[in-house]
Chains A and B, each alone.
Chain A
Amino acid sequence: MELVNDALALAIATLLRFQNATGFPQWVNLHTSVWPIAEILHFIGLCLLIGVVGGFDLRLTGMARQVPIAALGRLLPWGVVGFLLCLGTGVLFVAGNAFAPGEYLRNVSFLWKMLFIVLAGVNLWVFHLTGTAARVLVLAPGDDTPLVAKVIGGTSLLLWVGVIVFGRLLPTLGDAF
């Protein structure tokens, strides 16, 4: 825990140095449409992410069995687009918050949100590392998915819903805004 605290303190200090050096939060604050536009893009990104990655995860759990998994997987780059939209706008929020600089890094809901995103990444790594990805890609339409695929798909769905939950609870659990 000391290590986590130290890492966070370092992150906050670095962020504050960046903000002082660039005046980024003041720029965001001055141009009042930047924050709302970023929020809109963040929501669009999350819908793309949940729709494409979530849709793929639902297929992994065995829903919509007639959908060929390999073919459905070809839409995943759109999920990545959604994720990148969220990442980019997310960085803007963290770096550009003039109201309370460094706020998010001290917000417990934000930290849980970041942890869940990391865990979703680990889950994806497990998907590939265990060979589950290779196994599901050769399934024919109508085939059920192996249990490990169901677990990985279900875990991914829970994690990304968790990300939405912690994001929504930023002002409540933590002290954002």
Chain B
Amino acid sequence: MAFLSWLQDSTLGTAVRESALMYPFILTLHSIGMAFLVGLNALVDLRILGFASTVPLASMSRFFPVMWLGFWLNAVTGVVLLIQAATQHLTDPVMYVKLVLVASGVVVLRKIHTRVVRGPANLGAAAAMDGRALAIASLVLWTLAITAGRLTAYTFFRFWNW
């Protein structure tokens, strides 16, 4: 707890929290990163699941740098957002759930990148099935991550109830 206070009261934490501009700016970047990471991932997932099947899967590999950029933008802005309210966010179980879900989503995305999109040109039936399972897992994980993320805005203040 003392460590969390130390984080929150650090120069960076205080600067962001007390600035009228910095906190909204960083939160906005976090939203944009989410939109491109999750959004483009969903685009690839939909293709893997068979929509617009005439798009060659391998051709979508050029979208991945944008996804990874979104991820790193969110990793950096996310750390800053955690630090500036460390005592609230890092004592909130829902935040940890979100982080695990995000990590899982990223692991699945990496697998999709290497095994499905960059995989051999003619995927065997087993590998194609594998791709579908990953795509479904990806969509589910990101939906849950968004849900958990949104809920931290409430569990953080602790007045939200079912």
Query: Which positions in A face B, CB cutoff 8 Å?
Result: 32-33, 36, 39-40, 43-44, 46-52, 54-55, 58, 63-68, 71-75, 78, 141, 161, 164-165, 167-169, 171-172
* Residues of B close to A58: CB separation below 8 A: 63, 66
CB distance from B57 to the nearest CB of A (A): 10
Pairwise interchain contact A72-B55, C-beta atoms closer than 8 A: yes
Contact A40 B147 (CB under 8 A): yes
From A44, A67, A168, A169, contact of B60 by CB (8 A): A67
Contact string against A for B residues 37-76, beta-carbon threshold 8 Å, 1 for contact and 0 otherwise: 0111111001100011011101111110010000000000
Report yes or no: A51 in contact with B162, Cβ–Cβ below 8 A: no
B42 touches A51 (CB 8 A): yes
Complex interface: chain A residues within 8 A of B51 (CB): 74-75, 78
Question: With A46-B35, A55-B63, A141-B56 given, can you name 17 additional A-B contacts, CB distance below 8 Å?
Answer: A36-B160, A39-B150, A43-B34, A44-B143, A48-B42, A50-B39, A51-B38, A63-B63, A67-B62, A71-B52, A71-B55, A73-B52, A75-B52, A78-B43, A165-B28, A168-B31, A171-B24
**Known contacts A63-B63, A64-B63: A54-B42 contact under CB 8 Å:** no
Complex CA–CA separation, A71 to B55 (angstroms): 6
What residues of chain B lie closer than 8 Å to A49, measured between beta carbons?
A: 39
- Do A67 and B20 touch across chains, with their CB atoms under 8 A apart? no
CA distance A52 to B41 in the complex (A): 9
Instruction: Find out whether the CB atom of B39 lies under 8 angstroms from the CB atom of A164.
Output: no
Measured between beta carbons, the chain A residues less than 8 angstroms from B146 are 40, 43-44, 47
- Whether the pair B34, A68 counts as a contact (CB closer than 8 A) is no
CA distance in complex: A47, B150 (Å):
13
Are B39 and A51 in touch, CB under 8 angstroms?
A: yes
Provide a sorted-by-A list of 18 A–B residue pairs whose CB atoms are within 8 angstroms.
Answer: A32-B161, A43-B34, A51-B35, A52-B39, A58-B66, A64-B60, A67-B55, A67-B60, A68-B59, A74-B51, A74-B54, A75-B43, A75-B46, A75-B55, A161-B32, A165-B28, A167-B31, A169-B28
Q: CA A73 – CA B55 in complex, angstroms? A: 10
Query: Nearest chain-A residue to B56 (Cβ)?
Result: A66
Number of chain B residues whose Cβ lies closer than 8 Å to a Cβ of chain A = 40
Known A32-B161, A75-B46, A172-B24: A64·B59 in contact at CB below 8 Å:
yes
CA distance A40 to B150 in the complex (A): 6
Pick the contact of A164 from B35, B38, B42 — CB < 8 Å? B35
B73 to chain A, nearest CB (A): 12
Minimum C-beta distance from B65 to chain A (A): 9
Which residues of the partner chain A approach B149 to less than 8 Å between Cβ atoms? 43
A66 near B59: Cβ-Cβ < 8 Å: yes
Nearest-CB residue, chain B, relative to A160: B35
Interchain CB contact under 8 A, B151 and A50: no
Instruction: Select B39's contact among A40, A55, A63, beta carbons within 8 Å.
Output: A55
A-B residue pairs, 6 tightest by C-beta: A51-B39, A64-B62, A66-B59, A50-B35, A74-B52, A50-B39
Beta-carbon contact of A164 and B40 below 8 Å: no
Bound-state CA distance A30–B52 (Å) is: 43
For B142, what are the chain A residues with a Cβ–Cβ distance below 8 Å? 47
Minimum CB distance partner of B148 in chain A? A40
